[in-house]
Chains A and B, each alone.
Chain A
Amino acid sequence: MKPAPFDYQAPDTLREAIDLLASNPEAFVIAGGQSLMPVLAFRLATPSLLVDLRRLPGLGNIAVGDDGLSLGALVRWRDIEDDQRLVAVHPLLHAAVAHIAHYQIRNRGTVGGSLAHADPAAELPGVAVTCEGEITLFGPVGSRTVRASDFFTGPLSTLRQPDEIITELHLPKWPSSRRWAFRKYARRDGDFALAGILLFYDEDRQGALSNAHIGVIGACPRPHRLTAVETLLNGHIIDDGLIRQAAATAAEEVDPPDDLHGDAAYRRGLVATLIARGLRAAAQNGGA
């Protein structure tokens, strides 16, 4: 359980960090290290160099603006939990982050690290995709912004190039009247989700659903939205029948993995149950 040897640099500027990555093709980026350190301990990766982002200025900010919320790559889970503005500014994010791993890991784990690691069961990638977030990366030719729905390409796979560093996640503005839910099932507190769902919707004057966004984590090769469920919900008033239909549609639409933690049929059932519970909570309480 000891990592293979590597060199280590903690540069002072983003440009220096990019130069180090560009000139060392086998280099890895480390921030909080809460996903990377186990990977190194198991020697699933043997990078030649770790480029630590801890000295880079300006990446630890949580900025609330007219167009939404921006999270710097070095923002830790605990920074989000402690920022009481976010309970109103982005309740779905705030609720989801409380479910990430354990107390000690939330003290070190970062926004950028979770996005770059791209575990299909991770909470933040689910929030980013469900909420139409945008991810900004900085590389040798400057910065680019990618839609979260495009960014995650498969398990532990993203559009990030080895010489790029994630600098920011932007989430669009969240209306205060929006209804939402986060539901996750894991066997033990803090484990990765066997299945999880994130959802929100708005309502028109007659109370019909609009702008439904339904996301899934865990029961999928990458976080994604369930568009058939969204189409089913939009334009209708929520009731028990609609919730049942939505749950059944979700179970059909997901493509869950089949592994020793849970078979595909079980995960389909979980998604249906979590969708039903989430929709019921959103309809009754507004958010939960």
Chain B
Amino acid sequence: MRVSFRVNGDPVAVDVEPRLHLADCLRDMLSLTGTHLGCEHGACGACTVIVDGAAVRACLMLTVQTEGASVVTVEGLSSDKALSPLQTAFRKHHALQCGFCTPGMLTTAHALLTEEPDADADRIRSALSGNLCRCTGYIPIVEAVLEARAAYRKANRP
């Protein structure tokens, strides 16, 4: 089936089998391998992308369901080859070790802070509770997201 949508601002059109989930489409057809696949049944959160402003699991969404949608992947979070404030905070706080879960952490936190730049630690923990990390113990991740809030507050100011 022919499906047209936007990825990181650019229009794309792909020919896919209906069963192809969005994460496989992004990785295998669009070469956007920043989106990682851990469990492929909605348990680990590694494949989180942002569809029409909402963080979703790309393994639980069919590509054909994204017709007309706007998708943002981890590749779309930064521009000009510079880290975004959220990514900078992750580096500063050592919020990643092996990095496998990081794209999902970043997309989830980005979607959260875009809507809720004042999210407190409890809210951040709750939003990230669907993203598994086996290295860091989560504390540095929460600290990084807390620090990044300032940049989102600034961005939201009219």
Chain A residues proximal to chain B, CB less than 8 Å:
1-8, 10, 30, 33-34, 37-38, 40-42, 50, 52, 54, 78, 101-105, 107-108, 188-190
Contacts and interface: CB of A to CB of B under 8 A. Distances in A.
Nearest to B123: A103
B129 A102 contact: yes
A38 B17 CA distance: 17
Given A5-B17, A8-B18, A41-B41, A104 B56 contact: yes
Contacts of A188: 129
Contacts of B42: 34, 37-38, 105
23 contacts: A1-B41, A3-B19, A4-B19, A7-B18, A8-B18, A8-B62, A8-B64, A10-B67, A30-B62, A30-B65, A33-B62, A38-B60, A101-B130, A103-B55, A103-B130, A104-B55, A104-B130, A107-B54, A107-B55, A188-B129, A189-B125, A189-B129, A190-B129
Contacts of B40: 1-2, 41
B1 A8 contact: yes
Given A2-B40, A33-B61, 10 more contacts: A1-B41, A5-B17, A37-B42, A42-B41, A52-B65, A103-B112, A103-B126, A104-B48, A107-B54, A190-B129
B41 A5 contact: no
Contacts of B61: 33, 37, 108
Contacts of A40: 19
Contacts of A41: 40-41, 59
Nearest to B127: A103
B36 interface: no
A1 B43 CA distance: 13
B149 interface: no
B57 interface: yes
Interface in B10-36: 17-19, 21, 24
A105 B41 contact: no
A190 B130 contact: yes
Contact of A108 (B17, B39, B60, B64): B60
Q: How large is the interface on B (under 10, 10 to 19, 20 to 34, 35 or more residues)?
A: 20 to 34
Interface in B106-147: 108, 112, 125-130
B103 interface: no
Contacts of B59: 37, 41
Contacts of A50: 18, 62
A105 B54 contact: no
B104 to A, nearest CB: 9
Nearest to A98: B126
A288 B16 CA distance: 47
Contact of B60 (A6, A34, A52): A34
A104 B50 CA distance: 9
Nearest to B43: A38
A268 B61 CA distance: 37
B59 to A, nearest CB: 7
A6 B20 CA distance: 10
A10 B64 CA distance: 9
B56 A107 contact: yes
Instruction: Kindly list the 4 A-B residue pairs having the minimum CB-CB distance in the complex, ordered from nearest.
Output: A102-B130, A8-B18, A1-B40, A38-B41
Contacts of B55: 103-104, 107
In this complex, which of A3, A33, A40, A102 has the most chain B Cβ atoms within 10 angstroms of its Cβ?
Answer: A102
Contacts of A190: 129-130
Nearest to B67: A10
A265 B56 CA distance: 37
Contacts of A105: 42, 57, 60, 130
Contacts of A10: 64-65, 67
B112 to A, nearest CB: 7
A52 B1 CA distance: 14
B129 A103 contact: yes
A133 to B, nearest CB: 26
Contacts of B129: 102-103, 188-190
